[in-house]
Structure 1
Amino acid sequence: MNAQLINGYEVVIGFETHAQLQTKSKIFSRASTAFGAAPNTQASVVDMALPGTLPVMNREAVACAIKLGLALGSHIAPRSVFARKNYFYPDLPKGYQISQFEIPVVQGGEVSFFLDGDKKNVRKTVRLVRAHLEEDAGKSLHDAFQGMSGIDLNRAGTPLLEIVTEPDIRSTEEAVAYAKELHKIVTWIGICDGNMQEGSFRCDANVSVRKPGQPLGTRREIKNLNSFRFMQQAIDFEIRWQIEQLEDGHAIQQATVLFDPDTGETRAMRTKEDSADYRYFPDPDLPPLCISSEWIEQTRAQMPELPRKMAERFVADYGLPEYDAATLTQSPQMAAYFEQAAQKSGQPKLASNWVMGEISKRLNAEEIGIESAQVTAQQLAQIIQRIQDGTISHNAARQVFDALWRGEASDADAVIEAKGLKQMNDTGALEKIIDEVIAANPANVEQYRAGKDKAFNALVGQVMKASKGKANPQQVNELLRAKLA
């Protein structure tokens, strides 16, 4: 990837993302994973690590891992093993976390994306190291007013896939775009609900800086970034902080840091551990996880059309630029909306422009999804058809769109009729207006004939004004040029 230099430093970022899997029960017990229950009401004897309890693998969690591997073009290991990751923390009842270390279930793969607003069709690709299954820890609760802390083990044992990238990301913009694309994929294939506020999709960013050509710098890991906006703020601050430290002659110490949204700053939480500190060893209570090729192929046959494949189809079938196709496949709902509008209107590029433009603008302003759009795909197709057959101009089309969005009518033709938005297509009437404009503006006529194109635009404007905006602009241009020839 092309390096983006900041004050002479290259930024290097890698991601570790914990996607909570959409299973009804936990990874090694039958306790519920439902969010929002009263503390410690969804913690089984297995989750609490009571003596004599043994973990039993959740088959659906493995199915989710297979789906992710297929979606990312990864190798799905036919045999993977579980390990104990040893560390002490109050919300870890076993004193270790069951995870995967030496042989993860998902190996390699990649995530490709376009940067927001980049219409140059330059695709960025981030390589993945692995994705492994593991259990979540509990949660420490702190009551500052009473000066007390407690442990909620409801989340302990919740199934996670930890998705780890190579350090391929070179800017904050790329980091956010990668996280958004991964979020899209895990929600698209239905393995994670993607709710960042509830902790279902948590990102840790490993950030370091270096002079170009130098070895990788010392990284600091920003933990539990739970919104894309905070992610951008946190990484931007961390980059500035590390560069300032190095410029002042200080060394960067490897550490785990947290982002404080109130101050907009990161702060060190603890010195960052390496894998040797966790004393990984194979879990003796869990046999190797074996996945047959038949299971993988059965899962492949049940997978939905993936966003990248759908985007490729939109390029091939509808002639869209890659950027448009990638944008329109942000969700299955948006893709379906576009495809319906494109097919019914017969104008896929115009449908793409409207969905990416006016529709998206309204959705963002009202903070709603496309499934809640006040203009249906059928109505949008009708607007596009009326533009194409010359019934209305683009400006009039926006007025029709506004009226439909406000619910003033359910039919584009009804709005056109009620508001008198039909274009003037009567050549005789239009020629009469043009003749009058030419006669009333001799100076502009002479300037145009002298080679000044701005004078022609001024004459077109006068015709449009005289027709009260109802003249067909293309027709006006053709007739006016013919008369001035």
Structure 2
Amino acid sequence: MAEEETQVIVGLEVHCQLDTKSKLFCGCSTDYRSDGPNTHLCPICLGLPGAMPALNKRAIEYAMKVAKALNCEIVNESEFSRKNYFYPDLDKAYQITQYDKPLAEGGYLEIESDAGGEKKVRLTRIHVEEDPGRLVHMGNVERGKYSLVDYNRAGIPLIEIVSEPDMRSPKEARKFLNKLRATLEYLSVFDSEKEGSLRVDANISIKGHERVEVKNITSYKGVEKALTFEVTRQKNLIRRGLRIERETRHFLEGRGVTQSARSKEQEHDYRYFPEPDLRPLRVKSWVDGIVLPELPDARRERFMAQYGCSLNHARTLTGDLKLANFFEKVVSSDPKGLAPLASTWIADTLIGELNYRDMGLDPVDPESVAALIWLLKAGTITDKSGVEVLRVMLDQRLKKEKTETPDAIVARLGLTRTTGDTGAIAAAIEEAISENPKALEDYRNGEGKALNFLVGQVMKKTRGKADPAELNRMLIEALKKKEA
């Protein structure tokens, strides 16, 4: 196939729960994950006859805050409609949403493109709607014998952020979601740690072919995996000369595949009509009163200017609100002195160790990390020893054991950098060379990797305590003597 015939086109519809205390049209608590199923309900969120919805002002303010942060235009008049369809988790058999008169239109979000550099992903609209209930499948969605329905979630305020089809790969889609999540967290309108707080419908097509929608993906990694599977599936159909059907599919996360659910509905299938119990919204005048906090892009630029962070490190550190705050706490005692080393250690080493342990940032003490950075900056320990100290610190936190200071760990394990004791380093060098004759031969033949290998072997023997510069100098001298 020609390259233009395999171009991937992706657009996303992102549903985000707004972190309000009460539901969109009634006073029921939004803490639907507690107390048990079907306990946070009232006649309004159940849509019982005679119950009248009353709009949550805070939800509208939060939605407008998001719209302003995403460069959208608040419309002069928006309107709620009834979207009619039957599904077991939809208690009223209709959903109150915004259809042809959304709260905001246009806008964009900047991401790092696959080709490098910044890329604007245009937005179509942001509208406000209520969440339906949820189904709890007994077994899995394919083979479960039955499902239970919990209406606690019904009526939770949602915003739906609809993008233009500007993304060109599953990877760009994930970057868009990560940037969007960070922006919502900076705005304090969204809690990403709550299960089900963000769900995605992904529209994907190969240029010139029908579009497929993958519904209700509940994780950022899931979006990338589902779209990657769809790219492969659709391109395989094209290669075999088969037609791609316009349809809705579900992502089966356990298997990493999508499965056909039904043919794609058309707008007329939902029989939209204006919600008779709610007046049109005229809130554009509120925009000037909305004050935005420092957002990820602005904070990234500040980290580069104030702390001297590289672009990649600044992007990583500011891509998560907790991580950005953590970094600033670590360097607070001496920003100019600690920031260059701390940005590298936190963005690369710390994040890597946390991911390896499937561990969050909350248990980590920024003062302890700052103390470790000071030891590294002062040359008390080597980078290799620093990693060993960090691992001990994290493991103690993970196991909820009594935690030691970095100084105490260094003293207990004897990790202080070896300086002046050239005899110990020389002995380790001799052992490494004699135990690895092939590396010596490779070095003589001009293979640079052999030197790095031998450095690693000596570091193992000295438990990472040898001064790297001194070690390299002594090792090269020893190898030259072997050549003589």
TM-based fold match above 0.5:
yes
Query: 1:317-355 CA distances to partner (integer Å, 9 max, x unpaired)?
Result: 112222211211232221122123234351323211211
| Distance of aligned partners of 1:79 and 1:396 in 2 relative to their CA distance in 1, 3 Å threshold | same
Matched, 1:364 2:355: yes
8 A Cα contact 1:126 1:169, kept in partner? yes
Q: Paired residue for 1:348?
A: 339
**What secondary structure does 2:54 align onto?**
coil
Matching of residues 165-180 of structure 1 within 5 Å: 165-180=163-178
Work out the CA distance in 2 between the residues paired with 1:284 and 1:460.
76
Matched, 1:108 2:99: no
Counterpart of 2:199 (choices 197, 202, 205) is 202
Counterpart of 1:43 (choices 34, 41, 44) is 41
Counterpart of 1:22 (choices 11, 19, 25) is 19
Query: 1:347-399 CA distances to partner (integer Å, 9 max, x unpaired)?
Result: 323211211222112211222211212xx322333333333333332223233
User: TM-score with structure 2 length normalisation?
Assistant: 0.80
Q: Paired residue for 1:423?
A: 417
Matched, 1:386 2:378: no
**What secondary structure does 2:109 align onto?**
strand
Q: Paired residue for 1:85?
A: 83
Q: CA deviation at 1:238?
A: 1.9
Query: 1:142-165 CA distances to partner (integer Å, 9 max, x unpaired)?
Result: 669997666543333221111100
Q: Paired residue for 1:325?
A: 314
**What secondary structure does 1:246 align onto?**
helix
Q: Paired residue for 2:153?
A: 155
Work out the CA distance in 2 between the residues paired with 1:161 and 1:481.
63
Work out the CA distance in 1 between the residues paired with 2:28 and 2:453.
73
Larger deviation: 349-358 or 231-240? 231-240
Whichever residue aligns with residue 469 of structure 2, its letter is Q
Whichever residue aligns with residue 354 of structure 1, its letter is W
Segments of structure 2 that go 5 or more residues without pairing to the other structure are 397-401, 434-441
Segments of structure 1 that go 5 or more residues without pairing to the other structure are 442-446
8 A Cα contact 1:14 1:205, kept in partner? yes
The percentage of counterpart residues that share the same residue type is 38
Q: CA deviation at 1:28?
A: 1.4
**What secondary structure does 1:26 align onto?**
coil
Work out the CA distance in 2 between the residues paired with 1:464 and 1:240.
45
Counterpart of 2:130 (choices 120, 126, 135) is 135
Q: CA deviation at 1:204?
A: 0.6
| Distance of aligned partners of 1:137 and 1:412 in 2 relative to their CA distance in 1, 3 Å threshold | closer
Matched, 1:377 2:366: yes
What is the aligned length?
460
User: TM-score with structure 1 length normalisation?
Assistant: 0.80
Q: Paired residue for 1:400?
A: 389
Alignment root-mean-square deviation, CA: 4.1
Work out the CA distance in 2 between the residues paired with 1:221 and 1:47.
28
Q: Paired residue for 2:216?
A: 224
Work out the CA distance in 2 between the residues paired with 1:475 and 1:267.
60
Q: CA deviation at 1:39?
A: 4.3
Q: Paired residue for 2:73?
A: 75
Work out the CA distance in 2 between the residues paired with 1:35 and 1:371.
24
